[in-house]
Chain A
């Protein structure tokens, strides 16, 4: 009988256009028999119809007409896989620089980045950009697939020269877990089955590395339980409970919590999940809390256990800018942070990241797909943690006031590698 408690890993493919990300995911899914017969038949039929061979593995995830016509991924595809060891949510991201916003979308919820690069080209600027964004987003584990090894006759020295480059960059970006694997996504070497073409490689296959990665298990940096209030539930008989999704750490009945920004202390009287009481509210659960004291808490407020987050209207943030026009000093936008939306003004842009050197260059604006540092001033109080200790209370998006488009991913604080 299938179980529902298998450990989950969320991963995103990253890397430059055409280096083989979609082919690799197609290979992984086909070789682990995750595709239904009719889905595989459809990929075969589409490959024949478009004259791209018997089986174009990238068609497993490249499902849009334009993607198949152009042979490129435009937006993230989500696929779900399950092996006896683990459950996976896979985001196959586009490599093209024009779609960096979509890559960030896929990587923002990932625990692990599956990096794909072409052994002949090594670390291209776009691969560096993706790795930099993944590191900023708090992805600590990377599996780097040095792909298209079939194209260099499985030369160990070709592999090794790329390995050195990757190791240098990984150190700079402070990744905690790095595995580098020579593969051919096209032919399936070292993806699910170990290859006989690389007797000099003794490490795991891609699948084995995914199944055994530490990513996705509980992090070391739990830093205080938080509940951004989403909705106030009126209880029968007049009481109110506060509903939202727990992050940071668990809450327990009896815990002292502080309502912010009001700064009012109270205790948790009861916890319920879908109307059923419990004593612990775990991270990731949508629960509601009953508090010992009357408060006027509402949507956009936050309940926190110690150590408490900061209450502020001024934030120093790392920004990935996706807007078509540049981000400039003085610009007005809307900001969404947890369950709060507030007007915001850019008070300063203090630098832009040079992707090649990872240094901050001086700049007073950010162009499309640039990463930089900015100071923002919000109209309303925000209750924030540094992104490095909490991905929920440390993150926000910027929204264009006219089109309502999401134009930036923002992280509170400054990454350590700048």
Chain B
């Protein structure tokens, strides 16, 4: 066996390789699973995921619908973005509402100011069950959190939607195998190997549109748990808190009452890339109250079936 002569080494662009890997995963799962669905929050990661899914199947239509778990505590800019983008792309959008889960008496209403973050899991699992989805694509990245760092690209969920980090299937090479029995399902994470910086560089390269709240703007905020929370229908100043008007942007998009804004003048994608490249605080550390409850908050939520 004589090896073929080497062509000059080529520096494949790292983003091309990440993109290709994600597209590969999207196609494998779409081919092997009966009823996949793509979870779409309107945040930057799910926007990248949807962009990749469109590329994976172009010029065909997306072979699966898009599902938004609506907590009812969204930033209005994000809902507008969701509707405009899915209409423009011609993809089928399903919306599962936490409010419906509350009205059905399956979970207790935490009140208008209370966090619905954890309740989403019930709504999500119901939607997966009712629609018979056997795979759900998510935009989670391993660099976000220490529990996510442990998760497989194709992550098995049992009949109760639970993740068991001690019993993950081996995942060898790029042989993603997505077979599940009825009632069980998979979570598939095509962006597993992407970092926050990769995401922004990709968005910049692809000139993607994003909800306006990712870019610097003036907003009324209050300081709570050392985070700037946007004053609005889901956050009102408590005693001792003062409302300030500041130039901020959001690094992540979650519920309005547990997602903090950061002080930032970055109003273009290039400025955001530069800012992210030199950040001292992690994305979730800077912005997410839901991870601050305990050392293993994300692991605990994931075990229950969270995103």
Contacts and interface: CB of A to CB of B under 8 A. Distances in A.
Interface of A: 1-2, 4-8, 36-39, 42, 45-46, 49, 61, 63-66, 68, 74-80, 87, 89, 101-102, 104-105, 108-109, 217-218, 220-224, 230-231, 233-236, 243-245, 249-250, 273-275, 282-286, 299, 307, 322, 334, 336-337, 339, 341, 389, 391-392, 395-397, 399, 404-406, 409
A63 B6 contact: no
Contact of B281 (A6, A38, A87, A231): A38
A223 B31 contact: no
Given A38-B282, A231-B27, A274-B55, A77 B146 contact: yes
Contacts of B171: 105, 406
Nearest to A222: B4
A409 B172 contact: yes
Contacts of B304: none
Contacts of A61: 146, 149
B170 A275 contact: no
Contacts of B20: 245, 284-286
Contacts of A322: 170
A389 B1 CA distance: 9
A218 B166 contact: no
A349 B119 CA distance: 51
A4 B15 contact: yes
Most chain B beta carbons < 10 A, residue from A5, A64, A65, A231: A231
5 contacts: A37-B285, A65-B296, A286-B56, A391-B173, A404-B179
Given A274-B55, A406-B177, A89 B172 contact: no
Nearest to A284: B17
A405 B169 contact: yes
B126 interface: no
Interface residues of B, number: 72
Contacts, number: 200
Interface string B2-38: 0110110111111111011101100110111000000
B57 A233 contact: yes
Nearest to B63: A231
Nearest to A225: B4
A343 to B, nearest CB: 13
Nearest to B192: A78
B150 A64 contact: yes
A62 B277 CA distance: 25
Interface in B139-173: 142-143, 145-147, 149-150, 152, 165-166, 168-173
Given A63-B147, A230-B27, A220 B6 contact: yes
Contacts of A89: 193
B208 interface: no
Interface of B: 1, 3-4, 6-7, 9-17, 19-21, 23-24, 27-28, 30-32, 55-60, 142-143, 145-147, 149-150, 152, 165-166, 168-175, 177, 179-181, 192-193, 195, 197-198, 201, 205, 270, 273-274, 277, 279-282, 285-286, 295-296, 299
Given A65-B295, A233-B57, 10 more contacts: A37-B280, A38-B285, A64-B296, A75-B168, A80-B143, A230-B28, A275-B59, A286-B27, A336-B175, A405-B169
B4 A1 contact: no
A274 B58 contact: yes
B165 A2 contact: no
Contact of B172 (A250, A334, A406): A406
B150 A234 contact: no
Contacts of A7: 11
A399 B3 contact: no
A109 B23 contact: no
A339 B28 contact: yes
B92 to A, nearest CB: 18
A286 B24 contact: yes
A405 B23 CA distance: 24
Given A2-B201, A223-B4, A406-B177, A102 B193 contact: no
A297 to B, nearest CB: 14
A2 B230 CA distance: 31
B104 to A, nearest CB: 32
Nearest to B169: A406
A7 B10 CA distance: 10
Contact of B173 (A49, A233, A249, A392): A392
A406 B170 contact: yes
Nearest to B12: A282
Contacts of B192: 78
B79 to A, nearest CB: 28
Contacts of A105: 152, 170-172
Contact of B273 (A2, A244, A273): A2
A75 B171 CA distance: 11
Given A38-B286, A77-B150, A397-B172, A87 B177 contact: no
Given A36-B285, A275-B58, A286-B27, A2 B14 contact: no
A398 to B, nearest CB: 10
A395 B3 contact: no
B175 A404 contact: no
Contacts of A101: 170
Given A42-B295, A63-B299, A230-B31, A76 B150 contact: yes
Contact of B9 (A36, A218, A243): A218
A200 to B, nearest CB: 37
A36 B14 contact: no
Contacts of A409: 170, 172
B201 A4 contact: yes
A36 B147 CA distance: 16
Nearest to B5: A222
A273 B23 CA distance: 11
Contacts of B3: 220-223
A46 B295 contact: yes
B295 A109 contact: no
Nearest to B152: A105
Contact of B14 (A87, A108, A230, A396): A87
A42 B146 CA distance: 11
A359 B157 CA distance: 40
Contact of B177 (A1, A38, A336): A336
A223 B27 CA distance: 25
Contacts of A405: 169
A22 to B, nearest CB: 12
Contacts of B4: 222-224, 249
A95 to B, nearest CB: 16
Contacts of A230: 24, 27-28, 31
B48 to A, nearest CB: 13
